[in-house]
Chain A
Amino acid sequence: MPITSKTFVRSTAILLLVGLLALVGIVGTSVWLADRSQVYLDEVTEARIARRAAVDLRASLLDMESSQRGYLLTLEETYLEPYQQARPRALEQVEALKQVLAPYDVAAEPVRQLEADVTFKLKEMDTTIALARSNEVAEAIARVRTDEGQQAMTAIMGFIDALITAVDNRLVEGVGNQRSTGEALRLVSLIGGLVILMVVAGAIWAVLSYTQELANARRAVEEANASLEERVRERTSDLGKANEEIQRFAYIVTHDLRAPLVNIMGFTAELETSVEEVRSYMDTQPVDEADPVASQARLAATEDLPEAITFIRAATRKMDGLINAILKISREGRRQLNPEPVELSEVVETSAAAVHHQVADNDGDIQSDIRVGKMITDRLSIEQILGNMLDNAIKYQEPGRPLRVSIRARHVPGNRVIIEIEDNGRGIAETDHERVFELFRRSGSQNNPGEGIGLAHVRTMVRSLGGDVTLTSRLGEGTTFIINLPRDSRGFIGRLGA
């Protein structure tokens, strides 16, 4: 069964709680049972004391009785000695019995009876001894014969026997209780131990299965990671191949387009030469207004044909320009980029110096604020990008306004560099913000020559360095180009087979 971290925490907590309860149960029961044990022990001790007191009392009374009888028979004082010794003992023993049995309400009445009986018996014996001593032995024996003393003695013995029996029962019961308490303690300990054992087993199982789950998850993540990297590698290589294909395609297409263009231009030139010859011949011929065919031929040779040739030439020249532009970009894409340490501020300075004259002519200036150090990138690309940007700024400056160009560069998180080129030129309409980066697309009035490849070229170069270029602009106020480049292009160059 899979175990999530939530169920793991919950089940562990529950197991711990169960274990704690079991432990508390064991401890509680143990304490309670120990208490009970103590009580039993106390009771047993008490019972033993009572039993002993009773037995002693019986012995004392029997001693006294036999001593009394001996004296009555012999009238020898020596026979009275045990009596004299036992008498105070018997009183003490009665007192002790009274104390031991004091907590038991049931025993109160019999104890009082016992005390009365003992007192009576003692009194009877004292009386008989006193009578005997005053030589009234017959009187004393008569007193004995009344059986009053004997009855009291029987009552006392009865009490003592009952007490001993009760105490013995009590002792047996106490031992039984003690045993059952021990039994209960063992049972509780056993059950508690079992519960704790189960808890521990459960906890171990939960930990093990959770660990197993974690290991599985980690393995899955590692596998996913590995396959992801593999996939990225595959895609990158696919992209590289596709890119290479496109470059080669562009190159081949432009070459193949050039071949027919050479023919068109070549034969147009040949045609022009021929037309020129025809025209010279026409000029030598007299003008014959009457012949419509001749005048039409003259018109064709002198006006229509040269005009057609002019248009053909203009069109082919334009096409030639476009093909050259594509060729340039495709060649640029095929160029091997060479990452090296480049000090951006130096490149900016060089680029600014290269256009200094053009800028200074119109009272313009170029400010730079470069806050980045060395970048690892392709120097030529950076030079071309900056050169292109500055050329554009000069080419599309607002007439009558001195050009102000500001080049700023700074680091941004992710080990990247932002280069901003801000100008106060004529700006780019919102609808053209993306379009200007497309090949052969130009924005605004077309009063400057150009094929519309500059920014497309810039974007191609920036992207092959692993960056991107965007712009913000307000028509009539100026444009800011934002170039985002990695500080170290080594990881990007060559990745796409550029």
Chain B
Amino acid sequence: MNNARPVTIIMVEDDDGHARLIEKNIRRAGVANEIVPFTNGTDALAYLLGPDGSGLVNKGRQLLVLLDLNLPDMTGIDILEKVKGNEHTKRSPVVVLTTTDDQREIQRCYDLGANVYITKPVDYDGFANAIKQLGLFFSVMQIPETD
């Protein structure tokens, strides 16, 4: 990952435990980037698109969104739609990380522009492994600045 212009990982996850486990395993993979956690969709959207909803607030930053679909106030799909529909944030990679493995849901997410869709494995070893690999993946992927 480009350390000169640090990538910020936006983690939208309503379950604190999951958030903590994800963070731990990403760190174990050697990723030291800042992780900004959100437990509900409203706050996450406010951060991503700014209070005015234009997305200009994050101009020039590199953002990577880790998105859970089951949120208390909205579904992750709403957030995905808004992020990918905003001209400033549409190039930011969105990784959907959720428990749902319904085929239609997965298709819908990719249709809306999700970059990666990962189902949370229930057994912890699988889960930890997946997150670690995701972290490794983060460390090599190129992320554009928002404009």
- Is the C-beta of B24 less than 8 angstroms from some C-beta in chain A? yes
A294 at interface by CB-CB < 8 Å: no
Cβ of A261 under 8 Å from chain B: yes
Closest to A265 in B: B124
Q: A320 touches which one: B17, B24, B70, B122 (CB < 8 A)?
A: B122
8 A Cβ contacts from B98-133 to A:
99-100, 120, 122-125, 127-128
Across the interface, do A261 and B17 meet the contact criterion of CB distance under 8 Å? no
Q: Which residue of A lies closest to B100 (CB)?
A: A255
Say yes or no: A266 contacts B99, CB within 8 Å: no
- List chain B residues, Cβ under 8 A from A263: 15, 17-18, 21
- Measured between beta carbons, the chain A residues less than 8 angstroms from B99 are 255, 258-259, 262
Chain B residues lying within 8 Å of A324, measured Cβ to Cβ, are: 122
From B21, B70, B100, give the contact of A266 (CB < 8 A). B21
Min Cβ gap A228→B in Å is 37
- In the assembled complex, the Cα of A257 lies from the Cα of B117 at a distance in Å of 21
- Which B residues are in CB contact (< 8 Å) with A323? 122
Q: Is the CB of B100 within 8 A of A267?
A: no
Q: Which residues of A contact B18 (CB under 8 A)?
A: 259, 262-263, 266
Identify which of A258, A267, A270 contacts B122 (C-beta below 8 A).
A258
A259 touches B70 (CB 8 A): yes
Are B127 and A266 closer than 8 Å at their CB atoms? yes
Contact of B124 among A255, A259, A260, A262 (CB under 8 A): A262
B21 CB to closest chain A CB (Å) equals: 4
Bound together, the chains give a CA A255 to CA B70 distance in angstroms of: 9
CB distance from B138 to the nearest CB of A (A): 20
For B24, what are the chain A residues with a Cβ–Cβ distance below 8 Å?
270
A214 at the interface (CB under 8 A from B): no
Contact of A265 among B15, B70, B100, B123 (CB under 8 A): B123
Q: Assess A262 versus B125: contact at CB under 8 Å? Given A255-B99, A255-B100, A270-B24.
A: no
Q: How far is the CA of A269 from the CA of B123 in the complex (A)?
A: 10
**A319 closest partner in B (C-beta):** B122
Min distance, Cβ B101 to any Cβ of chain A, angstroms: 9
Query: Given known contacts A259-B70, A262-B99, A262-B120, is B125 in contact with A267 (CB within 8 Å)?
Result: no
Q: Which residues on A sit within 8 Å (CB–CB) of B128? A: 266, 269
The docked-state distance in angstroms from the alpha carbon of A323 to that of B122 is 10
Whether A268 is near chain B, meaning CB under 8 Å from some CB there, is yes
Q: How far is the CA of A270 from the CA of B127 in the complex (A)?
A: 12
Report chain A residues within 8 Å CB of B125: 269
Q: State the A residues within 8 Å of B (CB).
A: 255-256, 258-263, 265-270, 320, 323-324
Beyond A255-B100, A262-B122, 20 extra complex contacts between A and B, CB < 8 Å: A255-B99, A258-B99, A259-B18, A261-B122, A262-B99, A262-B127, A263-B15, A265-B123, A265-B124, A266-B17, A266-B18, A266-B21, A266-B128, A267-B17, A267-B21, A268-B124, A269-B125, A269-B128, A320-B122, A324-B122
